[in-house]
């Protein structure tokens, strides 16, 4: 038979034991949780690093022999890939736009190297990170060409007409010139448009021709549905 003091002593020992067991168990679980979170973060970090990043590169400056070669070599040396690019010459200057893809570390190195290269050649550059580059919507590809006497607001009205019909401009080229017979400044434009299959091309043809007649322009619309044999041409 236990005395009161012995009973209290055993009770205190039991409480002390359970407290130590609870603290140790809690500490072990907490440590495991911390290590698990750290491991998850490491995995996520490694995954993000391994994922390809994308940047838009815009370069403008004086055109020089071999400049495009140096720019493309810079991209290649950093183990990056050019997904899409546009290049144009304006007088003695050129412009270059690219979408470049690579790992996070490769893109970071490319950003530094490209900025240094442009500084060496006196070029203006702008680099912006982006994501989700996809091929253009080519369900219905429309080629629009028109020309006529240049006037204020022509391009604004044409592009406004296109935007209202949910059609996107994939490429655009404009040139002004003096008509030798009339000595009047004329404009010639070429546009590549992409639209979804829901666009009614017959209505689009009629409406664009009406607009061109109102503006005193002439031209043609050529469009292709998914297959080339579905090509259709309208002129006015």
pLDDT tens across 154-181, in order? Answer: 888 999 999 998 888 888 888 888 888 8
Q: Is residue 7 part of a domain?
A: no
Same domain? 147 vs 70: no
Rounded to whole angstroms, the Cα distance separating 169 from 200 reads 17
- 106-115 average pLDDT score: 92
Residue 200 domain flag: yes
Structure-model confidence comparison of residues 131 and 230, the more confident one: 131
| Bridge partners of residue 57, in order along the sequence | 98, 127
Task: Quickly state the pLDDT bin for 194 (edges 50, 70, 90).
Answer: confident
Domain-terminating residue out of 130, 165, 186 = 130
For the chain, the residue count is 236
* Residue 104 and residue 167 share a domain: no
Helix axes of 104-120 and 67-77: crossing angle, nearest 10 degrees: 150
Q: Per the domain annotation, does 39 fall within a domain?
A: no
Question: Could you tell me which of 216, 221, 218 has the C-alpha nearest to residue 234?
Answer: 221
Residue 231 confidence (pLDDT)? 47
Termini Cα distance of the chain: 117
Cβ neighbours, 10 Å, residue 33: 10
Token pair for 39: 């491991």
Q: Positive or negative, the Cα torsion across 224, 225, 229, 233?
A: negative
Which comes out higher in pLDDT, residue 132 or 143? 143
pLDDT tens by residue, 50-77: 568 899 999 999 998 889 899 999 999 9
Number of domains present in the structure of the chain: 2
Asked whether the predicted pLDDT for residue 3 surpasses 90, the reply is: no
What CATH number does the domain containing 217 carry?
3.30.70.260
Domain closes at, from 76, 106, 130:
130
Segments forming the whole domain that contains residue 160: 140-235
Q: Is the dihedral of CA 130, 135, 138, 139 positive or negative?
A: negative
Q: Is residue 135 part of a domain?
A: no
pLDDT at 16: 56
Q: What is the pLDDT of residue 224?
A: 73
Q: What is the pLDDT of residue 182?
A: 86
CA distance 151 to 68: 36
Give the Cα separation of 105 and 50 in Å (integer).
Answer: 9
Q: What is the mean pLDDT of the chain?
A: 79
| Alpha helices in 51-150, H assignment, sequence order | 67-77, 104-120
Output the pTM of the full model.
0.54
pLDDT of the residue at 125: 93
Q: Are residues 102 and 122 in the same domain?
A: yes
How far is the CA of 44 from the CAs of 55, 99, 130, 164, in angstroms?
Answer: 21, 25, 20, 43
CA distances from 189 to 13, 153, 154, 155 (A): 93, 14, 10, 9
């Amino acid at each position: 038979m236990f005395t009161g003091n012995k009973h209290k002593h055993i009770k205190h020992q039991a409480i002390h034991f359970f407290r130590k067991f609870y603290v140790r168990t809690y500490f072990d679980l907490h440590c495991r949780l911390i290590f698990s979170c750290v491991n998850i973060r490491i995995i996520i970090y490694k995954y993000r690093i391994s994922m390809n990043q994308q940047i838009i590169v815009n370069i403008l400056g004086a055109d020089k022999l071999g400049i495009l070669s140096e720019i493309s070599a810079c991209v290649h040396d950093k183990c990056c890939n050019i997904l899409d690019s546009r290049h144009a010459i304006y007088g003695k200057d050129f412009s270059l736009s690219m979408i470049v893809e690579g790992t996070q570390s490769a893109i970071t190195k490319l950003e530094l190297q490209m900025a240094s290269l442009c500084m060496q050649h006196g070029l203006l550059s702008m680099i912006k990170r982006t994501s989700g580059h996809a091929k253009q919507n080519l369900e219905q590809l429309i080629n629009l060409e028109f020309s006529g006497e240049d006037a204020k607001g022509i391009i604004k009205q044409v592009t406004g007409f296109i935007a209202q019909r949910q059609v996107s401009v994939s490429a655009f080229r404009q040139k002004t010139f003096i008509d030798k017979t009339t000595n009047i400044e004329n404009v010639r434009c070429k546009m590549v448009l992409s639209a979804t299959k829901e666009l009614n091309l017959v209505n689009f043809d009629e409406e664009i021709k009406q607009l061109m007649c109102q503006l005193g322009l002439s031209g043609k619309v050529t469009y292709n549905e998914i297959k080339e044999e579905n090509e259709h041409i309208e002129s006015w």
